Amino acid sequence: MFRWLIRKIFGRRQDNPEGQFKTRALAYPFCTFAILFFGFQVIVVTMGAVELIWPNMPAPVPFRSGRMVHLNLSVFWPLIAAMGSVFYFFPKEAKTELNHLTTVRMLSYLFPLVLAAILTSFVFGLTEGREYLEAIRPFDWAVTFVLLLFSFVLTTTYLKKGVPKFRATLLGMLAGSWSLVLLYLPNMLFYAHPSVDEAVKFWIVHIWEEMSMELFVASVIAAFLLSVTSKHRKATETILLLELSFISVTGFFATSHHYYWIGTPSSWLWIGGIFSTLQVLPSLLLIYVNVKDFKKEEINSLSSAEKMAFGFIFASLFYHAMGAGMLGWILALPFANRYVHGTYLTSSHAHFALFGAFGFFALGFAVYILTKELNASPKDYFRLWISYILLNLGLMIMGVALAIAGTLQGYLWRVLGNDFMHTQELILPYLIIRVGGGVIFTGGGVILAWTIAKLAWRNKRKILFLS
């Protein structure tokens, strides 16, 4: 009985040293849904941004609901894609098939379903009222369940016999998955004291993104490089290990850059300033991993899907260094933060970092997995490159316009002491330019989502039945 249970949970070892791992295919639905959600997001959001510059527009949903939809999508679709990529690379790194195939299949439909339900509830005005964590209690349980299943599948697969236990890629993915669960749980409680509430909220808004997601990004990119280039495993893994340690230290301690003005003692200004400066290091290391003994000739021998993936990875690394690293660092210096805290400069950073660094990563791998495995046509690749250019261009315009708006806002409102609403009128031109960027961005997003949707539709049997 006990043996049976153990076997049920941990599965049998299936040797498959070199061949293709069948369970990789479980990643397809995750990737497809993530891209569809992204396509939906850009459309909804452009309407929200138009409402900010043309307030009397007749809007189908209140701004409040629209913003909740936007924020939750921006956290969850990159996570869905990250899950897909982890499931895709885990078997190869673990040298064994994934466990619990039915669970993974169920998960790939359950998670999008939960997200859709959460978004629907926002339209009806249901909210927990905490930024980024607006889902009401029952949905919190659903999200926890989803994250637990994810961690469970990875952990039991990892514990199988014959899995190399010391592989940094596997450890990074595992640590990422469990930290998601552990940090989400305390966020299901109600905190009466507003300062405590803020502090706990940033375990998601900051640690989820800047630690858990970073762990996935670093490990998945390393696994990808090891599988398509001739990089030396031992050297790559050593750097990855260094990077993972760095991410976990700075990921936690740099949370302090959100604790400057919420009623916590001023010692947090120091912790935040110092660790946020150190936080730039992991993103530089990530670039180093990629560029180190990268051979130019290798690019030419790559397949179209791999070239595409490199394009997205380089975009992601660029925004990592620029939008997350540099801009984040400026924001994190206490004397600068004092004036620009809670202005559009934060919004600029949020878009550069969350979309620039993670969005490009998530889209890149979702697109890579689908185009590679589903045999995309040259025409598809052409469309995807067009969308890639539009997304970059749109994001640049949007982010720079927001950064100017935010800097002006900080100066006019926080330094000169103008009335907030008056400042708002003065920065309107930049918000209009932002919408212009947003429209270009949306164009790219729609082309991308449409191309992938058609590709997925052509291969629906493969995605739905793995055949």
Partner 1 sequence: MNKFVWIAIIIALIAPAIFFILLYNSLSPMLQEEIPENVVVGKRLWQSKGCVECHTLFGNGGYNAPDLTKTVEMRGKDYLEKFFAKPPMMRPHKQRKHPGLIEKEAADLIAFLAFVNEVPIIGWPPEHAKSKADNNSNGAEK
Residue with tokens 């409040």: 64
The reply to whether 46 sits near ligand HEM by the rule CB under 6 A is: yes
The reply to whether 383 sits near partner 1 by the rule CB under 8 A is: no
Residues 12, 13, 64, 295: which binds ligand HEC (CB under 6 A)?
A: 64
Closer residue to ligand HEC in complex, CB, 54/63? 63
Interaction partner, residue 195 (partner 1, ligand HEM, ligand HEC, none; CB < 5-8 Å by kind): partner 1
**Which structure tokens are listed for 143?**
């999200």
Distance CA 88, CA 157 (A): 13
How many other CB atoms sit within 10 Å of the CB of residue 266?
A: 9
The reply to whether 292 sits near ligand HEC by the rule CB under 6 A is: no
Residue count (the chain): 467
The reply to whether 75 sits near partner 1 by the rule CB under 8 A is: no
Residues 1, 5, 192, 421: which binds ligand HEC (CB under 6 A)?
A: 421
CB of 410 to partner 1, least distance (A): 10
Distance CA 360, CA 392 (A): 9
Interaction partner, residue 441 (partner 1, ligand HEC, ligand HEM, none; CB < 5-8 Å by kind): ligand HEM
| Options 5-13, 19-27, 238-246, 387-395: segment touching partner 1 (CB under 8 A) | 238-246
CB of 58 to ligand HEC, least distance (A): 15
Closer residue to ligand HEC in complex, CB, 1/421? 421
The reply to whether 74 sits near ligand HEM by the rule CB under 6 A is: yes
The reply to whether 441 sits near ligand HEM by the rule CB under 6 A is: yes
How many other CB atoms sit within 10 Å of the CB of residue 138?
A: 11
Q: How many helices (H) and strands (E) are present in the chain, helices listed first?
A: 20, 0
The set of residues, in sequence order, having a beta carbon less than 8 Å from that of 413 and lying 6+ positions away, is 343, 419, 420, 423
The answer to whether 390 and 444 are in contact (CB under 8 A) is: yes
Nearest Cα to 281, choosing from 320, 253, 311, 252? 320
| Options 76-84, 107-115, 321-329, 409-417: segment touching partner 1 (CB under 8 A) | 409-417
The reply to whether 63 sits near ligand HEC by the rule CB under 6 A is: yes
Nearest Cα to 75, choosing from 210, 170, 252, 192? 210
The answer to whether 179 and 215 are in contact (CB under 8 A) is: yes
CB of 40 to ligand HEM, least distance (A): 11
Type of residue numbered 256: S
| Options 32-40, 141-149, 199-207, 220-228: segment touching Fe ion (CB under 5 A) | 199-207
**Which structure tokens are listed for 34?**
């993530």
Distance CA 227, CA 12 (A): 25
Ranked by CB distance to ligand HEM, the top (closest) residue is 328
Interaction partner, residue 206 (Fe ion, ligand HEC, partner 1, none; CB < 5-8 Å by kind): Fe ion
Nearest Cα to 86, choosing from 3, 162, 15, 149? 149
Tell me the longest C-alpha to C-alpha distance in the chain. Answer: 74
The reply to whether 268 sits near partner 1 by the rule CB under 8 A is: yes
Nearest Cα to 191, choosing from 142, 128, 252, 132? 128
Q: Could you list the residues that contact Fe ion (CB under 5 A)? A: 206
Q: Site residues (CB under 6 A) for ligand HEC?
A: 63-64, 421
Q: Which residues bind ligand HEM (CB under 6 A)?
A: 41-42, 45-46, 48-49, 52, 67, 70-71, 74, 205, 209-210, 257-258, 276, 279-280, 324-325, 328-329, 331-332, 337, 341-342, 346-347, 349-351, 353-355, 357-359, 438, 441-442
